[in-house]
Amino acid sequence: MGHLYVKDIQAGQTIDGVYLVKDAILRSTNNGALYIATYVSDRTGQLNGRKWQASEADYGLLPKPGFVHIKGRSELYQNNLQVIINQFKVIDSGQVDLDDFLARTEKDVDSMFADVSEWLGEIKNSSVKAIVDEFLGDGELMAKFKKAPAAVKMHHNYLGGLLEHTHSMMQVARAILVLYPKVNADMVLAGIFLHDMGKTEELDYQIAFSYSDSGQLIGHISKSFLMLNEKAAEVERKGEKIDTEIVDSLGHIILSHHGEYEFGSPKLPATSEAFMVNYIDDLDAKMCQVAALIENEPGDSNWTGWQSSLGTRIFRKRFE
């Protein structure tokens, strides 16, 4: 019997296989009994996992994150599918194929990166071009850029997701920039390329998708801003003069791309280019999120469960 993928799990099934567990927390019920809350996942998705009648010893054994052979069952709780863990055995990561457990983009990474590089090659402003080329010439950074997810949970949360998100945003920008001739195309394309670059350092994606300590302390917006200024300084050390207003304007796009203070933006958009990057970013993130919910939500209801990040439930019925 082959692996039962998370996307294929239905209520009332026996679970007997290896899964990735992460974000395990030891909690107590109202009567004081201990239980473990965790996520059970593979490359097709994740479900809430619960081990009732747990002990501190059980919690100490459970990797955080790592692979375990789970014996248990699936059930519905408040209309959400979850995995009940009756027994588990820790599995060494060397015994599993990581491709079975880490979701990755279905698109061709090399082709997407070639497109992004080609579109960035159209930039005419010398300062913008020099900064972008400094990033593109950093082979180690670009390897991370091609592999990193764009998020842990929200959108494009799979290997290659950051590149896919950037690629999609650039396609949208190239389609609409012709409608807004007073918006500087060089700044928009470079801003899209750089806005999430810090996620290459913010996120840890070796075994599971999580935040690095540095990512938790600094965050990808600040990291992207610092990387921009480091690359600009490196260009100047090589003898090429960089327009400081260009660096500040690109920095502003990075610092404002979440659009609202409550969403983590240190600044609100104050240039036409920053507004465009903010709205394209939000559009692409939300469309990815909605598509994933329609495709992957368990069950056959026309509606997903409540999505707090979107403030609604999603209607799943497709029209021909």
Mean pLDDT of 31-45: 88
- What is the C-alpha separation between 195 and 20, in angstroms, rounded? 30
**Nearest of 154, 15, 153, 115 to residue 73 by alpha carbon:** 15
Q: What are the DSSP calls for 109-153, one per residue? A: HHHHHHHHHHHHTT---HHHHHHHHHHHT-HHHHHHHHH--S-SS
CATH fold label, 6-98 = OB fold (Dihydrolipoamide Acetyltransferase, E2P) (2.40.50)
Going by pLDDT thresholds of 50, 70 and 90, the confidence category of residue 1 is: low
Mean pLDDT of 60-77: 90
pLDDT tens figures, 223-253: 999 999 999 999 999 999 999 999 999 999 9
Q: DSSP secondary-structure letter at 320?
A: -
Is there a cis peptide before residue 181, judged by omega within 30 degrees of 0?
no
- What is the C-alpha separation between 183 and 297, in angstroms, rounded? 39
Cβ distance 157 to 131 under 8 Å?
Answer: no
Going by pLDDT thresholds of 50, 70 and 90, the confidence category of residue 215 is: confident
Measured from the Cβ of residue 115, the count of other Cβ atoms closer than 10 Å reads: 16
- pLDDT confidence of residue 298: 63
Mean pLDDT of 201-211: 67
Question: Could you tell me where in the chain the CATH 1.10.3210 domains are found?
Answer: 102-293
Cβ distance 75 to 14 under 8 Å?
Answer: no
Asked whether residue 93 carries a pLDDT value surpassing 70, the answer given is yes
Q: Which residues pair with 46 in a beta bridge?
A: 41
- What is the C-alpha separation between 258 and 261, in angstroms, rounded? 8
- pLDDT confidence of residue 281: 94
Higher local confidence (pLDDT), 304 or 281: 281
Q: Which CATH architecture has domain 102-293?
A: Orthogonal Bundle (1.10)
Residues contacting 291, CB < 8 A, separation 6+: none
Phi then psi for residue 179, to 5 deg, are -85, -15
Cβ distance 259 to 278 under 8 Å?
Answer: yes
Q: Give whichever of 5-14, 34-43, 274-283 has the largest mean pLDDT.
A: 274-283
Question: Could you tell me where in the chain the CATH 2.40.50.140 domains are found?
Answer: 6-98
Cβ distance 249 to 167 under 8 Å?
Answer: no
- What is the C-alpha separation between 208 and 196, in angstroms, rounded? 19
pLDDT tens figures, 134-155: 999 999 999 999 988 877 666 7
pLDDT, averaged across the chain: 89
